[in-house]
Amino acid sequence: MDPTGKNNTREEDQNSYVIDSENAGELARLMHQDQMLTRGMGGLFPEFPEGAPLPAGGRVLDLACGPGGWALEVAFAYPNVEVIGVDISQAVIEYANAQAWSRGLENIHFQVMNVMQPLAFPDASFDLINGRLLLGFMLPEAWPKLLAECRRLLKPGGIIRLTESESGLTTSPAAERFNALLAEALKKAGQSFSADGRHIGITPVLPRLVRQAGFEEVKLRASAIECSMGTEGYYPMLKDWLMLQELIQPFLIKMGVATGEELGRLIQQATAEMQQEDFCGLYTLLTVWGRKPQ
């Protein structure tokens, strides 16, 4: 880590993301996913119907921000708030900073940092810390450390806000099999809370993790994006799935859950089944938030 707090090493033990974080295809997928999730969840802060608890001059930290879609929208919606996004990928941080510059947003900037390591900010720096879909790289043993770091970084009364998911549910046998292989691979990689490897397992334990970290008033909000044929969410979710299955294949092969040939046939079958008139699908997310004690 250099004096600016940027993590410039690329060793595998520094980056547990299951997709190559420097892949241009993943950058495109994350840009698409950012918009899909914010819209599907009902906005930037749907759990605060009267508006986010962000004072003028407040500061927001977005963990593993990717190309910065959510953070950029927050900076635009709350011009009197400073927003900082951090991510391990140099490529996506460069893209996010370019987006902030092109939009003329002076209240946001992005830095390269690994959120599984101590972050280069002073104590009590932020009013709100956000994290969305960290399941792609977080190890179970890393969660308590990250939440302790978030508690250090939050001001008294500050809010931690985390959104995670499990695999979607569909009527496609092949898509369900693909999801099962992904869950099995994550279990083999040591990146799953599942008792038997059939799920990712983060959503049932997340509220407890937040409480154990010392946060108070811990609350939950579930969101559901319907992606059945003919619904508004169908094409965005199908596009995300098609991009993901291409990018995730090296991880599945590395974990030994299937060969490239097997995955190719399975993906082809799933794609055909997902384009049938009677296809149904649902993608659920769980947002958990709590306050640092005063």
Average confidence (pLDDT) over 183-210: 95
What is the sign of the dihedral through the CA atoms of 90, 18, 220 and 145? negative
Classify residue 195: in a domain, yes or no. yes
Q: What is the band of 6 on the pLDDT scale with cuts at 50, 70, 90?
A: very low
Q: Are strands 154-165 and 281-291 parallel, antiparallel or unpaired?
A: antiparallel
Task: Single out the residue of 144, 128, 118, 293 nearest to residue 209, CA to CA.
Answer: 144
Residue ranges making up the domain that contains 47: 12-291
Beta pairing partners, 242: none
Average confidence (pLDDT) over 180-203: 94
- Predicted local confidence at residue 249, as pLDDT: 95
| Chain centroid to CA 72 | 15
Contact at 8 Å (CB) between 218 and 211?
yes
Here the CATH number for the domain that contains residue 152 is 3.40.50.150
DSSP states of 161-190 as a string?
EEEEE---EES-HHHHHHHHHHHHHHHHTT
pLDDT digits (tens, 9 = 90+) for 49-60: 887 889 999 999
- Predicted local confidence at residue 14, as pLDDT: 54
Average confidence (pLDDT) over 188-197: 93
Classify residue 230: in a domain, yes or no. yes
Half-sphere exposure of 102 (CA within 13 A, CB side): 7
Classify residue 6: in a domain, yes or no. no
Average confidence (pLDDT) over 189-207: 94
What is the sign of the dihedral through the CA atoms of 116, 146, 200 and 135? negative
Q: What are phi and psi of 132, to 5 degrees?
A: -130, 125
Contact at 8 Å (CB) between 213 and 151?
yes
Q: What is the mean pLDDT of the chain?
A: 92
- 4 pLDDT exceeds 80? no
Classify residue 58: in a domain, yes or no. yes
CA distance 259 to 255: 10
Classify residue 4: in a domain, yes or no. no
CA distances (Å), origin 131, targets 43, 150, 175: 15, 10, 27
93's CB contacts (< 8 A; 6+ apart) are 85, 87, 110, 111, 112
DSSP states of 44-81 as a string?
SSTT-TT-----TT-EEEEET-TT-HHHHHHHHH-TTS
- Predicted local confidence at residue 49, as pLDDT: 84
Q: What is the band of 23 on the pLDDT scale with cuts at 50, 70, 90?
A: confident
Please, what is the Cα angle at 120 between 75 and 2, to 5 degrees?
A: 115
The pTM is what? 0.91
Characterise 161 by phi-psi region: left (phi > 0), alpha (psi -120 to 50), beta (else): beta
Q: What is the band of 177 on the pLDDT scale with cuts at 50, 70, 90?
A: very high
Cβ count within 10 A of residue 10:
11
pLDDT digits (tens, 9 = 90+) for 230-268: 999 999 999 999 999 889 999 999 999 999 999 999 999
274's CB contacts (< 8 A; 6+ apart) are 170, 172, 175, 238, 241, 281
- Predicted local confidence at residue 8, as pLDDT: 37
| Chain centroid to CA 24 | 17
pLDDT digits (tens, 9 = 90+) for 263-288: 999 999 999 999 999 999 999 999 99
Count of domains forming the chain: 1
243's CB contacts (< 8 A; 6+ apart) are 25, 28, 29, 32
